[in-house]
Amino acid sequence: MDSPFQSHLNTNYTPSDEEIKKISTFLVEPLSKLSRLDSQINDLLKERNALKKSIEAHRALMSPFRRLPCDLIREVFLWCLPTDRNCAMSCDEAPVLLSRVCSDWRQITMTTPAMWTSLHIPVPDLSDVEILSAKTKQRTGVVHEWLRRSSNLPLSISFFGKSGTEQLNSGLLFKEVLRHSKRWKRMRFEFSTDLVQSIITLSQDQVPTLESLTIINLSDFHSVLLTQSFPPSLHRLSLIGLISTQRLGTLQLTHLTIHHRSREGPEPLRILKECSLLTSCDLSLPCGTIDKRLVVTLPYLQELYFHEVTNSADFFTHLTLPVLRRLKFRTSLGLN
């Protein structure tokens, strides 16, 4: 653009008042032209975006994923589920996320029971009783619908409630989970005494497919006594907190964890004697008085983790572990 002020452009020249008027007059036409160009550019951008949107929509029709058989898509969706934990009730991850992409994906997700067999249930923890009650009812409804979608498949559920809140907000949720006890496969419960008691009093007929069970009693004051025997299907058992047991019954356990938060707990040798198929064991409990005639042989045990709460010297002299490969020992006793 030719300008009468070309020689002064991009310099430190200071124009006079008369020159400023001339510059303003000179810029009228360029500014008008710039405005017209901006308008044209905006129109072109709108046209471009509309064209691009149409192209992308047509390309989406040719997507290879759309042509995959539903059974293969189901398999892909199953691989989207977390493998190191249970599924969360969250719209940010599978399966809920997948059900919100499009109607076809939603149909596939909702008609695939295996997508809904895993669930983590955090119990609401709110100070306002009314809000807490409403939130609990809402979450119970979600759990009900989630488990309904799983049809009759085995379930993997983790249930977590903070100590002291269970009486207010765990009952409804636990009852919903309890309704499906015959489908329990891998279960983890963390809450206080009353609900722990409800679990350990279940009969074998009520949990016939249970393979893995973790119970954590969050109470620091109230102990529960394990009286029922577990089903033959159980292979992995963890009892943590104030949970007492003198015997587990004849079990097919291969993995056993018992952490007892007291100096008076179950006698470990008698428990191990009933679990001859163990391959790994993790114990943290007092040894108590040991029957000197008792010798326990665990022919398959490869890993033993032992936390000494009371003197355990006699405990080890009564154990025969022919294939032990890994031993981890920790003590809470002083050097004396």
Q: Which residue carries 């009812």 as its tokens?
A: 137
Predicted local confidence at residue 157, as pLDDT: 97
Predicted local confidence at residue 130, as pLDDT: 78
Render pLDDT for 207-259 as a digit per residue (tens, 0 to 9): 999 999 998 887 766 666 676 678 889 999 998 887 777 666 657 899 999 88
Predicted local confidence at residue 109, as pLDDT: 96
Instruction: Give yes or no for residue 25 having a pLDDT over 60.
Output: yes
The answer on 74 and 107 residing in a single domain is yes
pLDDT-derived band of residue 98, with 50, 70 and 90 as boundaries?
very high
**Residue 224 maps to a domain:** no
* Greater model confidence, 12 or 47: 47
Q: How many domains does the chain have?
A: 2
Least confident of 11-20, 141-150, 263-272: 263-272
* Greater model confidence, 223 or 314: 314
% the chain with pLDDT above 90: 47
Render pLDDT for 73-83 as a digit per residue (tens, 0 to 9): 999 999 999 99
**Residue 36 maps to a domain:** yes
The answer on 74 and 112 residing in a single domain is yes
Domain that holds residue 78: 69-116
Least confident of 1-5, 66-70, 243-247: 243-247
Predicted local confidence at residue 268, as pLDDT: 81
Predicted local confidence at residue 290, as pLDDT: 67
Predicted local confidence at residue 200, as pLDDT: 78
Predicted local confidence at residue 286, as pLDDT: 72
**Residue 128 maps to a domain:** no
pLDDT-derived band of residue 90, with 50, 70 and 90 as boundaries?
very high
User: How many CB atoms neighbour CB 145 within 10 A?
Assistant: 10
Tokens of 227: 């009286």
- Cα(159)–Cα(121) distance, integer angstroms: 5
Render pLDDT for 151-207 as a digit per residue (tens, 0 to 9): 999 999 999 876 555 555 677 888 899 999 999 999 999 877 677 777 878 888 999
Average pLDDT across the chain, whole number: 86
**Residue 77 maps to a domain:** yes
**Residue 90 maps to a domain:** yes
Domain boundary among 42, 62, 82: 62
**Residue 312 maps to a domain:** no
**Residue 78 maps to a domain:** yes
Render pLDDT for 106-160 as a digit per residue (tens, 0 to 9): 999 999 999 999 999 988 776 677 787 888 889 999 999 999 999 999 999 999 8
